[in-house]
Structure 1
Amino acid sequence: MRLGTDHVVVRVPATSANLGPGFDAMGLALGVHDEIEVQLVASDDVRVEVIGEGAGEVPDGADHLVVRALQHTLELAGAPLTGVHLRCTNQIPHGRGLGSSAAAVVSGVVAARGLLADPHALDARTMLGIATEFEGHPDNAAPALRGGATLAWAGHDGPRAVDLEVDPRIHATVLVPDVRLATSRARGVLPEQVPHADAAFTAGRAALLVEALARRPELLLDATEDRLHQDYRAEVMSATAELVRSLRAAGLAAAVSGAGPSVLVLTTQEQRPMLDDLVGELLGDLAGSASGWHVGHPVIDTTGATCRSVARK
C-alpha cells in the first residue's frame, strides 16, 4: 500500500464510557480534544513533543502510544514504515476516566488511514478492531472514532459498534478531580462474579438507557443506575462514589465516568441551575473548598475523530 501524504493533523474527542449500566459497551464523545500533528520523515528518527496533558510524563519516542498505534496500523495496511515526528496538543486529562488512552490509540489509527494513498483500505470496522486490540474493549474507542453515543460489542467476527441517538435536550457535565486513578486498579477491585439479580437489574437499566438517551431524558435517573461495577469501585474512589450518591439522591443522573475517578452528569437545560448550585455545595463539603475538582460543561461531540492533510510548504 502506497502512502498518499506524509503530513496530517488528527483531532480526537474525549469519551466517557459505561454511562452507568452500559459497562464495557456504551460510551459518549465529549467536546474536549487532543490534536496530533503527524509528519513522516525519511529516516528512523522518532520524536514526540507533548504540549498540555501528559507533558514531561509520557514517552517521547517509539514507546509513545500514538506512535505504536500509528506504526502498527501502517504495518497492517502494508505501507512502508518510516520515522515520525509527532506534536501532541493534549486537552484530555490523563488517568481520570475520560478516554485519554483511547484517544491516543485512535489518533494513531486515524492518522495512519489519512496517510495512505487509498484511505478506504482501512474501513470503520477495521479501525475499531485495531483500536480495540490496543484498548482491550471498544467502549471508549467507538465514540472516539464515531462521535456521539455508541453501543459496542464483541461480535463473532470482531468488535462492532452502532450509533445511539441522543436527544438534543441532553447536556453533559463532568466533574474532574486532580487525583488520578489507573484503569488497572479500578478494574482490579471488580469481582469475577456478581449476583444474578444485580446482573439482571443492570441489563434492564442499560436497555432503558437507549430509550432515555434517544427520546425520554426524564428517564435518565433510572436509566443510569448500575449494580455491576460502581459500588465495587467505591473503595478506590471514595470521593467520587460520594459525589455520585449525593447527586443521584438529588434527582440528577450521575455516574462514574469510565473507570473513574471523574463523574459524568447527564441533565436537561432546566436541571442545570440546580446542578450548578449542588455541585458547588458538594465539592465544598468534600474538600473544604472547590479546589481539587474542576467542573466542565463540554458539548456532546457528534463528529468523532477527524483527519486533514497538511500541504507541503
Structure 2
Amino acid sequence: MSFADHTIRVRVPGTSANCGPGFDAIGLACTVYNDLELTLKKEAGVKITISGEGAANIPCDGRNIVWRSVQYLLRKAGLLDQYPGAVIHMENNVPLSRGLGSSATAIVAGLKAANVLIGNRFNRRELLQFATDIEGHPDNVAPAIFGGFTVSTVTRGDVECFSFLPKFRMKLIVAVPDFPLSTRKARAVLPAQVPMADAVNNISRASMLVAALCKGNEKFLRNVFDDALHQPYRAKLIPGMYDVFAAARKAGALGANLSGAGPCLIAYALERRHCEEAVGEAMKAAFRQHDVEAKILIMDLDTRGAHIVK
C-alpha cells in the first residue's frame, strides 16, 4: 500500500517541564498549540513552509527538526528509501526558545504525523521512546504526546511515563519575556554535582507535588514548587525571576517556577478562585521593575496530547 501524496494534519500542545522540583522528570501540557501538515512523497526533496512563531528563524531545509523526526520514524519503519521526500507546513503558536517545549512539539509532530501516514505502526509508548532519543530527555516530549501531567523515568535508555490529570481544575499563567534563552546556554550554568540537602529538597517536593495533584489536596501545594537544583543557577539569566514568583503568589497563585529552561515563568492557580488575570498582571509588573517586558498567556491544562485534526 502506498501512503504517498496523502496529507495529514496533527496538533501538538506546548509543554512546561520541571514544574519546579521535578527537574528533567515532571512535565505538563498546556493549551497553546503547533499544527503540522505532512505529505510524504516518493520523489526526493523536501518543501517546508512555516507561519507564526519563529517563522523567520526555523530552517526550511534538511536541518529542520520536523523533517529530521519524520525521517527518523521512516527509518525505524524501514520506509525511508520508499519516501525520500515530503511537503511540510508548520503553523506555530508556541513561542520559540522560551521554555514552552517548542522543539519537543516539533519532534512529536513529525513523529506523530509520519506514523499516522504509514498506518500507525508504532504505539504511543514507542513514539515516546523515539522522541526521547531525538530530544535527549523525556520531560517535554512526554506531555506533548500524552497530555496532562507526566512523570518520566529513563532506565538504561528505556523510557517509562506515567500520565495523570489533577483532581482539581487549574489555570496556568505564563509570563513570556521579550528575550529568548537557548536550552544549551541554560544547561551550561548548571553544576555537575549538588549538595545532599538540595537533592533531598527536590525529592520531597516533587513527591509531594504529584501526591497532592493526584489526591486533590490543594493545601499541600503551597511549598512544593520550590527548587534547589536548577533555578538558583539560572536566576542570573532571567532578571527579576524570584520577584516575579513572589508577585504571582501575592496575587493568589499557588506557586510559580521557571518553565523548562526558561526564560518563561509559569504560575499555577485554582480555576475556582478566578485570580488568573490578577496573577498575570502582577507577574508582568514585577518583570517591568527589572526592565523586562513580558506578555501573559493564560492557559488550561491540555488533556489530549498530540492528536489528528480532521
Counterpart AA for 2:126: T
Counterpart AA for 1:184: R
Q: TM-score, normalised by structure 1?
A: 0.91
Q: Does structure 1 conserve the Cα–Cα contact (< 8 Å) formed by 2:36 and 2:88?
A: yes
Q: 1:294 to 1:308 in 2, by over 3 A?
A: closer
Deviates more, 1:235-244 or 1:15-24: 235-244
- 1:148-176 Cα deviation digits (max 9, x unpaired): 00001102461110112312332211111
Q: Does structure 1 conserve the Cα–Cα contact (< 8 Å) formed by 2:176 and 2:294?
A: yes
Matching of residues 93-172 of structure 1 within 5 Å: 93-117=95-119, 119=120, 121-156=121-156, 158-172=158-172
Q: Aligned equivalents of 2:290 and 2:52: distance in 1?
A: 25
Q: Aligned equivalents of 2:132 and 2:19: distance in 1?
A: 19
Q: 1:6 to 1:279 in 2, by over 3 A?
A: closer
- 1:72-128 Cα deviation digits (max 9, x unpaired): 1111111222211111100000011000000000011101110113x1x21222111
1:294 counterpart residue number? 295
* Cα shift at 1:308: 5.2
Match of 2:86 among 78, 84, 87: 84
2:181 counterpart residue number? 181
Q: Does structure 1 conserve the Cα–Cα contact (< 8 Å) formed by 2:105 and 2:141?
A: yes
Q: Aligned equivalents of 2:11 and 2:164: distance in 1?
A: 22
Q: TM-score, normalised by structure 2?
A: 0.92
* Cα shift at 1:255: 0.7
Q: 1:152 to 1:75 in 2, by over 3 A?
A: same
Matching of residues 1-313 of structure 1 within 5 Å: 3=3, 6-79=6-79, 80-117=82-119, 119=120, 121-156=121-156, 158-214=158-214, 215-248=216-249, 252=253, 253-273=255-275, 276-287=277-288, 292-307=293-308
* Cα shift at 1:142: 0.3
Q: Does structure 2 conserve the Cα–Cα contact (< 8 Å) formed by 1:142 and 1:150?
A: yes
- 1:2-56 Cα deviation digits (max 9, x unpaired): 6487311111000000000010000000010000000122311211100001112
Q: Does structure 2 conserve the Cα–Cα contact (< 8 Å) formed by 1:5 and 1:115?
A: no
Q: Aligned equivalents of 2:309 and 2:280: distance in 1?
A: 39
Q: Does structure 1 conserve the Cα–Cα contact (< 8 Å) formed by 2:28 and 2:150?
A: yes
Deviates more, 1:236-245 or 1:179-188: 236-245
SS at match of 1:193: coil
- Give the fraction of aligned pairs with identical amino acids, expressed as a percent: 36
Q: Aligned equivalents of 2:286 and 2:152: distance in 1?
A: 37
Q: Aligned equivalents of 2:32 and 2:130: distance in 1?
A: 23
Q: 1:222 to 1:251 in 2, by over 3 A?
A: farther
SS at match of 1:258: coil
SS at match of 1:198: helix
Q: Aligned equivalents of 2:157 and 2:75: distance in 1?
A: 21
Q: Aligned equivalents of 1:236 and 1:203: distance in 2?
A: 25
Counterpart AA for 1:25: A
SS at match of 1:295: strand
Please, which runs of 5 or more residues in structure 2 have no aligned partner?
A: none
SS at match of 2:105: helix
Q: Does structure 2 conserve the Cα–Cα contact (< 8 Å) formed by 1:41 and 1:82?
A: yes
Q: Aligned equivalents of 1:294 and 1:286: distance in 2?
A: 10
Counterpart AA for 1:136: G
Counterpart AA for 2:222: L
Q: Aligned equivalents of 1:255 and 1:22: distance in 2?
A: 11
RMSD: 2.2
* Cα shift at 1:267: 1.1
